[in-house]
Chains A and B, each alone.
Chain A
Amino acid sequence: MRILTTTLASLVLILILSSSEASAKDLSVNEVVERTNAASYYQGKDGKATVTMTVVDKKGSKRTRQFTVLRRNSADVGGDQSFYVHFNKPADVAKMVFIAHKKVKGSDDRWLYLPGLDLVKRIAASDERTSFVGSDFFYEDVSGRSLAKDNHKLVETSKNYYVLENTPKKASSVEFASYKMWVHKGTFLPTKVEYYNKAGKKYRVMTVESVEDVQGFKTVTRATMESLTLGTKTIVEYKNVKYNTGLPAKVFTERYLRRAPLKYLK
């Protein structure tokens, strides 16, 4: 069984399979999971967006980070991908760059550029469930969790949603015991994801708040991740979303860490 893991439908540009293609009733868990994965992370051949992350702390004070994200798929949907993240705001992290080569099998390759130190650094293969630059989203939420890492179960099919329950195959490597995902039947976008900890308590919730049509792709433009135990949440907004911009593979290489690919970021 394969499943979709993603929580954050977002950084990513999403391709919607037209809902007429399949009659929901006939879908197997596998199909639901794969289509959700495709809708969440693989729309178009490539995509681009300006992302604003607003981290709201316990007391309600807000901090904002803004970055441009570029994504390029390999040949197959559900296969390897590349990401390029260029930070714009706040001013002190501007020009910080992060590149990831997501591998469906094996660990992702990740690089980092810190302009203040003029330093290119490779990030060693390690846990992907760590905060994405201080937000409530994890790196894995942004890049997509490999379907093979979880067991998936279709626990409910309502009029509008498939409800999936996902449990990790290797429980010791993650902080959750399971997560539940409400996948919208029409778009195959997960509109809500709830994470449960090992004590069976819900501690993390992702909610999609806005979906727009961009070049025919149903695209999440606003979502929130709430960390219930920490009392913090992060609102993510996508602007200037564009698909199929013809991003060349070279943009995702080390030399573009130091020097921004200006014309693709514009």
Chain B
Amino acid sequence: MKETSQLKISGNRITQFAVLHSRFVVRAVAAITILLVLGAGLPTLLPGTFGVLPAAQIDTDPETMLPAEHPARVFHNESKEKYGLSDAVFLGVVNDSHEHGVFNTETLGKVFAITEYAKKLEGVIAADVMAPSTVDSIGNDGPGTVTFDWLMAEPPTSQEEALAVRDRAMRIPFLKDTLVSHDGKALVIYVPIEDKDVAHEVAVALQDKLDALGTGKDQFHIAGLPVAEDTFGIEMFIQMAISAPVAMLVIFLLMWFYFRRFSLIVSPMLVAMAAALSTMALLVITGNTIHIMSSMIPIFIMPIAVLDAVHIISDFFDTYQETRDRRKTIEKVMHHLSSPMLFTSLTTAAGFGSLAFTPIPPVQTFGIFVAFGVLAAWFFTIVFVPAYIMLLPEKRLLNFGRATEGAEDTATGLLGGMGRMRRGHAKLIVLLSVALVALAAVGIDKIRVNDNPTKWFEEDHPIRVADRVLNQHFGGTYDAYLEFEYDVPEYTAESFAARLAERAFADAAASREVFAELGVALTVSSSSDPMDLLDELDALARSKRMGESRAAHRIGWSLTGDFLAEQYELAEEIEESEAVEAEESEADGSAATFGALMAQSLEKSSEGIASRLSSVGEAARGVAANAPADEEAFLAALRSYYETLEAGEGAGSLIEGFIGRAEQADEVFKRPDVLAYLEKFQQAMQANPAIGKSNSLADIVKVVHRDLMSGEEADYRLPATSDTVGQTLAQYQSSHRKDDLWHFVTTDYQQGVVWFQLKSGDNREMESVLASVDSYLAENPPPISMTTPKWFGLTYINVVWQNNMVTGMVGALLGSFVIVLIMMTVLFRSLLWGILSMIPLTLTVGLIYGVLGLIGKDYDMPVAVLSSLSLGLAVDYAIHFLARARELRHESANWAEALEAVFGAPARAISRNVIVVGVGFLPLLLAPLVPYQTVGILIAAILLLAGIATLGILPALITLLEPWLFKSKMANSLPEARSSRATVNEKQS
């Protein structure tokens, strides 16, 4: 009690100071505000001239929702860099009127022109622009011929050519539904940019060019997350510049309706402006960025700032005519209000301050600065409003509080009636509330956590339209990437040497076997000509090699190929020399002689190869003794061992081949089994409707393989060996875009990504993809040891911060609930009263979320943040109501009488507050951005609910709990109660 009274007294002292030094106080408040605004404004307008003061910085990047050092964000950025993936502006082209859609000469002509134009724009990564004229088409140009060419080298001049472009594109699965839609009605030009900051500039430049070209029957849509973000930044300021002032205007008009004194109601407006402006200025001065979250700070501060001032004016309005002395009136009003105002401000600040403990930096900044703004508003209110009133000429207040009394009487009567009704039906009201809580619980259970930055724009916003149209035509414009990484076995020189030796012995054994088989074929051959014999054996060796599934045997057959190549050369030499000799003597039995010689050298070769390969085991053990640091060093040492052995001749193609294969042994993403795993995984994921399509290295290999082979669908498959994959990719790289490959795999072929195109940016959809992937991976382990696959891409990042937000917000809300409860218990010196004061806010928060759940509105970022606001505001009304109820109870004969009095001035102040502030924020519905609309409608709903809950349930509960609440009058009395008597008596008389 002592503490409370001290607070009260110091509050009164501040008011006394303000009243005595009113001129100074008004000037000081104005000066502080102006100074802060200049401190923020000047460095922004004239950057660099004010030393350490930073200029205002705008940040509309949703990535910022995660701390820069968050593992998911770090990995996202590293991976973007690693795979050369840039943010891009999408230019969608749709033609619904032409029979062949966009594939007509006119549209493609424009597409070509705009692509050329885009490539030249500053900030555009020209080499990575994806458009029909910048991507390659691999094709099959008749039997035995493969083509590598631009998909559309030049704008087509005839319909046939236009259709040829379409047909080529449709054959390439990673272009179909990514670059061109399957129905041919749409295509997309991807314009990658160096930095997200240029997105808007690039979009505007493209739009200008389109206007100049004339769109005709084509529709053009500019989309992509960077554009959305940049546009959001711009519209954010439009809303700050329009919605917030309109809100202020509406609040002003409503206050005018109630108080009819321009000069008086200007003061809450000034307090709100001073609080909002200085907070924002401080935000800029401290170097914080203006983010989607922090841009909402003024909108949150203003209603709260007005709240306290409206209480003062309302009470002043109701009591001024009693004494017609502004000093006495203001002192009395402040005496009643200083304690509730301090506590309401502290609880509100605590509610927002708790956001500092969420793991989302922009939300932290938001919470801290709103908390600061609330306290600034409190301070400005208690010093500025009384000082301001003191400065008003007495005659301006002459009729204040009278002119509208008639109108107000109705309201007073109504409120009084409500109070009586509540007392009479206390049980019913409590029962009803319990029923509502139950209903809310059902709704809360149904709450769907979901967000989507694209949906921050209204339905008919060009960005939403583009999003809809493009996702309808294509596999999806939302990207998520899943990285698979080979878990490389730990290296030790011994184990590596052992692996090499094992492989060398296997190769040696296989080559022996294979050479023996060739030897048998040689023996049984009936070819009479050396060349025929060689052709026969060569054909055998090839078909054996191609049909062989064991790697060592394949290598063996390949070595027989080298042997046969030598024999061919020998045969050619013999042929040439025989041609000379033929004239001199009759040649005979050359095939037989050749065959016999060949059998000898075959045996010799076979033995030589086998023993040379076997020697690797011994050599590897020797190298291991020196413990090379890694595989690369090990193999280099092995190579130089053989080079020394061969005295400068090089390691020889046999050993060189062996070492070369060992060097590539860890290039697992060339392995057909690994690619087949990706292929199956992608096919399985296609069952999830959220996934439009996916692309991976497997898709590239299949397409190139198909067109290198027959060009037919049957060859759209993975080749059988890693070597073939390597050769296929070497061809893929012999294109205009050699580096496209590295968007899918790292250069060491140990990491690869599957690129998912999602049709919606809803976090819920992404989460369903995460779930599908997890369950697939759990049931289908990869063929090689891999680390747990990791996600990146903005669509995924959004899910990460959303989950952070949900858990963070729940924690913050529970934390601040406990803090507020403690504060209330301290304020009322009673746990019961403390709990009582928490009931309206609990009901409000519960009902708000219950209704959201029931109507299916997504729980998104603005909704989450508003939980803090509802907590802060709903408790305010309860504090005011309970503080006055308790005071008045002590002054009254019984609770019924006290209740009547509470439903006088205090209830009026609350109802005025609800209406002024709640209605005042409906203009936010005019904002072009959905989060602001959500904030507007929810603030109004929260205030209304909190007001109803306070005025409806608290009287009923007090009525029911009266014996416990007021068991000892004096013990719970607040020191100011004595002076309140006058008010109550006057009211009653």
Contacts and interface: CB of A to CB of B under 8 A. Distances in A.
Contacts of B741: 134
A91 B661 contact: yes
Contacts of A211: none
B670 interface: yes
A249 interface: no
A1 interface: no
Q: Which applies to chain B's interface (DSSP): helix, strand, loop or mixed?
A: helix
Given A90-B663, A114-B731, A116-B725, 20 more contacts: A88-B656, A91-B657, A91-B664, A92-B722, A92-B723, A112-B146, A116-B719, A117-B709, A117-B724, A118-B546, A122-B146, A123-B146, A123-B148, A124-B147, A133-B730, A229-B127, A230-B127, A230-B739, A259-B538, A262-B562
B734 A131 contact: yes
B733 A94 contact: no
12 contacts: A88-B653, A92-B664, A94-B660, A96-B730, A117-B709, A120-B144, A124-B145, A126-B148, A130-B136, A134-B734, A136-B738, A173-B153
Q: Which 4 A-B pairs have the closest CB atoms?
A: A116-B724, A92-B726, A91-B660, A134-B733
Interface in A109-144: 112, 114-124, 126-127, 129-136, 139
A126 B733 contact: no
A99 to B, nearest CB: 14
A93 B726 contact: yes
A89 interface: yes
Nearest to B739: A230
A229 B730 contact: no
Contacts of B734: 130-134, 139
Instruction: Give the interface size class of chain A.
Output: 35 or more
Interface in B768-820: none
Interface string B710-740: 0000000001011111111011011110110
B603 interface: no
Interface string B579-595: 00000000000000000
A90 B145 contact: no
Contacts of A172: 153-154
Interface stretch (B307-315, B466-474, B565-573, B895-903): B565-573
A114 B147 contact: no
Nearest to A175: B736
Interface in A30-81: 57-59, 61, 63
B670 A126 contact: no
A197 interface: yes
A117 to B, nearest CB: 6
A131 B660 contact: no
B742 to A, nearest CB: 7
A131 B736 contact: yes
Contacts of A230: 127, 739
A261 B573 CA distance: 13
A236 B761 CA distance: 46
Contacts, number: 147
B727 A115 contact: yes
A96 B733 CA distance: 14
B708 A126 contact: no
B733 A58 contact: no
A232 interface: yes
Contact of B736 (A89, A118, A120, A129): A129
Given A118-B542, A124-B147, A229-B125, A131 B657 contact: no
Interface in B545-564: 545-546, 558, 561-562, 564
Contacts of B195: none
B149 interface: yes
B127 A93 contact: no
Contacts of A155: none
A90 B726 contact: yes
A237 to B, nearest CB: 16
B263 interface: no
B141 interface: yes
A123 B145 contact: yes
A22 interface: no
A203 B569 CA distance: 47
B565 A260 contact: yes
B84 A131 contact: no
Contacts of A134: 730, 733-734, 738, 741
A119 B736 contact: no
Contacts of B656: 88
